[in-house]
Amino acid sequence: MNKTLFFFLVLLLPCSDARASDKSQVSVRFKIEASAYRQHFGTLVGSVENRAADVVVQALRQHIQFADFISNSGGQSPHTLTVSLAVLDPNTDVAAQAVWLLASLTGPGATSPRTKWGRFREAAADCGGLSDDRECTWPDETEFLKELQALLAAPSLYPALVSSAFHELSIANSGKFVVQPLNGWVLPFRQEDMCLGADTKLRIVNDIPTDQTTLHGKFRADVEGPYGHPPDSIFTTLSEGEDAADNNKKALLQQFADHVVVRGVYLVQYQRLDENCGSAIPPPTAPGSGGGAQ
């Protein structure tokens, strides 16, 4: 952030009504859908799913800080991320095709389409099926969880997951629009707490009360940097309207800046802040043979 903008934002601080906000809570559910894996684990499938959900929660907490992730068994929340171990064609032998992790987020009134998150393994073309263990090697519970944990350790998996599954999850429901020296929003969280990097792109939904009516506008915003002294908020700059109709509202957004009400802040493109992330947890240890993932 340039010095002029920084000092202007420091002066604005007493006028800002931005406050620290609670993160959205997301419960995580793991489903083993691939038939061969369900048959292989048999009566243990429920236990494996619960422990796998714990592994996913640990990975999400390490790589994503804009939401609070909990295991589905730990309680209910407004949003549920379902991660499925599945094949793309359930009518074809599991061994003949790749096995994927598919992810979908369910929230109040909306469910994101299931999208590919990561390839769990390639097709086992020479595998004779579950009934022929001479050709197939199926992991036991501990081996399966270790494979899952190793897969989810890759940071490259998470930007696409956020853009697909989390695009309708609001990370803030308040903020303040300002016009000088740059058009943009002050949002009520620290950059380090949400771990949003400079290449993160946001969609900010606003009510724009004018003299005649209240308009609704969606605008893209870029992460500029910390706001305040000490920096207890984040500043994002106005980029463009969500579409042509919203672009036509940019002048009204600026004209009635003092009356703009932020209704939601959504992630369009996610880049994790690599340094000074205050909420990231250390990498988990490998799952043991009993109990949940550590």
The model's pLDDT over 114-147, given as tens digits with 9 standing for 90+, comes to 999 999 988 765 554 444 444 456 788 999 999 9
Give the chain's domain count: 2
**Is residue 122 assigned to a domain?**
yes
**Is residue 56 assigned to a domain?**
yes
Rounded Cα distance between 266 and 205, Å, is 8
**Is residue 62 assigned to a domain?**
yes
Domain that holds residue 101: 24-165
Q: Would you state the structure tokens that stand for residue 286, as one six-digit string?
A: 């490998």
Q: How far is CA 270 from CA 39, 95, 197, 232, 273, in A?
A: 37, 34, 8, 21, 9
Question: Please, what is the angle between helix 141-151 and helix 45-63, to 10°?
Answer: 20
**Is residue 258 assigned to a domain?**
yes
pLDDT tens-digit readout, 172-229: 999 999 998 799 999 999 999 999 999 999 999 999 999 999 999 999 999 999 887 7
88 lies in the same domain as 135: yes
Which is nearest to 148 in space by CA: 56, 281, 83, 33?
Answer: 56
136 lies in the same domain as 39: yes
Residue ending a domain, choose from 124, 150, 165: 165
208 lies in the same domain as 227: yes
| CB-based contact 189:233 (threshold 8 Å) | yes
Residue ending a domain, choose from 113, 130, 165: 165
**Is residue 92 assigned to a domain?**
yes
- pTM given for the model: 0.82
